[in-house]
Structure formats: C-alpha cells, structure tokens
Structure 1
Amino acid sequence: MPVILARVDQRLIHGIVVNQWAAETKAGRYMVIDDEVSQDEALKASMRLSKPAGTGMSIINTDKAIHNFRNGNYDSQKVFVLVKEPSTLIQLLDAGIKIPKVNVGIIFDEDGRKNISKFVSVNEQEVKDFKEIEKRGVPCSIQYVPNDQEVDIKKLI
C-alpha cells in the first residue's frame, strides 16, 4: 500500500511536516493533492524547495492523483498525502485508494468554523466528511506534531 499517512493541513508543506513528520513517517514521496495549488507554478516551486533531501514530491490535482495511484505510479513508494480539506480524501477513497490513517494538523479558524482544538476548527461539511471517512474504517486523529498525543477526532466533533 503506497499511502502510509494522509494529513489534512491547510498549510500543506511547512517546517513541521518536512522535519518532524518526515522523520516519523520515513516517506519517500510527499504528495500534495489540491486542485487550486496544482495550478499555481510559483507556489509549487516554493513548496518543492522545502521537501526533504532524497524524497520525491508531487503537487497535483485530485484527478491526476487518482489516475497516478490507479496506474501504479507509486506502488513501490511510501507516500505521505497532504490535503487542505477532508473532502479530497473522500474522493480518493471513492476511487479505491487505500488510506490507512488520517492525521489532522491545521484547519484555520475562519469562514464560520467552530474551534475543536488548539489548531483545528471545522465547519458542518468538514464534520460530515470526517464522520464519513471514519465510517469507511479509516481512523482520524488530531496530532499537530508526532510527539503530541493523538486525539480521536470523534471525541471532538
């Protein structure tokens, strides 16, 4: 199974992901899946600068990610998936992509979201999406850095 962890983090690639989570996951590929970010060449270039040495990075839209997974492009790699919204993960699951676990790092407190932890706020749709992901047998937990204790998202939503 190529996906070793999926993380919902609205900052996508940042210091904590490339330093602390890199050591924790030992991922060989970081895959940012975002339909908007995948079209922004300047942002993609800056994200690529931060990837850990010796790893690969893909910054692609959801359809291309699904195509690449189905095509077996990552079968020999350990892939750490990064998305801004849990709805993207549902699209992957709908396409038959196996996700063993979802880690929630940062969802900003904006646009009417309700704060459920220090770094995570959710709206009604995101609550539904996390419940749907859990219903499909994929555990979801909030954990900002690997040394933090995992908190089952079900307890907070």
Structure 2
Amino acid sequence: MKKIVLARVDDRLIHTEILTLWVPEVRANRILIVDDIVAKDKFRSKVIKEMAPDGLIIHVYGIDRAVEKLKEPPSFDGERVIVIAESPIVFEELMKCGIRITQLNIGGMGIRGERKTVARRIACDDREMESIQQMIRKGVHVYFQTIPKKSWEEAKKYIQE
C-alpha cells in the first residue's frame, strides 16, 4: 500500500499553497487528486498534472481507480503521497474500500450549495458533517488547518454529534 503522508480536503484541489508549502512540509513526491468528475475531464486533468514542478508527480483519478492505485505497493523507494479531494465524503469512501486514513486535514471547504459555515474557511453540508463524524468515531484525527505553519483546530470542536 502507498504511504499517505497527507490526506487533505481542499475544494480548490491543487494550488500554490499545496505546491509550495504542503509538499515540502511532508516531503511528498506524488500527489493523488481523487475526484470522479475531474478525472473524466481530460482538459482539467491535463492542466492539473502540468502544475507539477520537477520531482513531483500528480495523478487525477476517480474513487475506484484511486483505491486500486493506493493499494499498490510503492512505485519507488521513498514514495510519499498526498491525497487531495474536495469533500470528506471521498475519504470516507476510500476508508470503506480499505484505504487506511489515520489523519484528515481539512484545509478549505467554501460555501456552496447546502453548505453552512462551521469554522473559518470551512463550510459543510449535512452529509459532509455526518462523514466527518463517522471518521472521528473510527479514530481518524480530523483537524482544520490551512497551511503547515498555522495552528490547527480539532474538527470535533465544531462538528457536534
């Protein structure tokens, strides 16, 4: 199984903070974006992959393919993977398929659709709140943190049962 060094919810998926702050912080050399819609959009997938600086590999997969890839042994010695999705629901699904997630960083979930503000820069709909609660119950450390050097807050402080 791949070594996941950061599991992150960020509805922007890939952006400068990920590439310049998180990648060096966790010493990642691979990013796996998990999104069924983006994976089917060849143009958007290509743009995301082209953002990779030298030494970093970016893949875009739907959930099923991501599960297959994450269950594979490391592609090379020292492989360190960041997994990013737009919603905690994706990580709950990955866990149901046997992917081990011990910590979940929630970095940015903007207001859209039925989402309501939960904390600064974090908005969730009822299903996303339920997903976070399920993961906390299963022993996953779920926390809110935008960038590595900023303090983090426990999600359970804001997500009540």
Tell me which interval the TM-score lies in, with the shorter structure as reference length: over 0.9
User: What does residue 40 of structure 2 align with?
Assistant: 39
1:89-128 aligned within 5 A? 89-128=91-130
What TM-score results when the alignment is normalised by the length of structure 1?
A: 0.94
Task: For 2:9 and 2:74, locate their aligned partners in 1 and report how far apart those are by CA, in whole Å.
Answer: 22
Q: CA deviation at 1:71?
A: 3.1
Task: For 2:80 and 2:45, locate their aligned partners in 1 and report how far apart those are by CA, in whole Å.
Answer: 21
| Residues 37, 43 of structure 1: 8 Å contact kept | yes
Q: Which amino acid aligns with 2:154?
A: D
| Residues 5, 99 of structure 1: 8 Å contact kept | no
SS at match of 1:115: strand
Task: For 1:2 and 1:74, locate their aligned partners in 2 and report how far apart those are by CA, in whole Å.
Answer: 10
Q: Work out which of the residue numbers 80, 83, 87 in structure 2 matches 1:81.
A: 83
SS at match of 2:36: coil
- Structure 1: 5+ residue runs without aligned partners? none
Task: For 2:35 and 2:139, locate their aligned partners in 1 and report how far apart those are by CA, in whole Å.
Answer: 23
- 1:124-154, CA deviations, whole angstroms, 9 ceiling, x for partnerless residues? 1111000111111110111011111111011
User: What does residue 152 of structure 2 align with?
Assistant: 150
- Structure 2: 5+ residue runs without aligned partners? none
Task: For 1:65 and 1:75, locate their aligned partners in 2 and report how far apart those are by CA, in whole Å.
Answer: 18
Name the % identity.
Answer: 25
User: What does residue 68 of structure 2 align with?
Assistant: 67
SS at match of 1:5: strand
- 1:63-85, CA deviations, whole angstroms, 9 ceiling, x for partnerless residues? 00111222325584211000011
Task: For 2:137 and 2:76, locate their aligned partners in 1 and report how far apart those are by CA, in whole Å.
Answer: 26
Task: For 2:10 and 2:72, locate their aligned partners in 1 and report how far apart those are by CA, in whole Å.
Answer: 26
| Residues 5, 103 of structure 1: 8 Å contact kept | yes
Note the aligned Cα RMSD (angstroms): 1.5
Task: For 2:44 and 2:6, locate their aligned partners in 1 and report how far apart those are by CA, in whole Å.
Answer: 23
| Residues 3, 74 of structure 2: 8 Å contact kept | no
User: What does residue 132 of structure 2 align with?
Assistant: 130
| Residues 30, 57 of structure 2: 8 Å contact kept | yes
User: What does residue 21 of structure 2 align with?
Assistant: 20
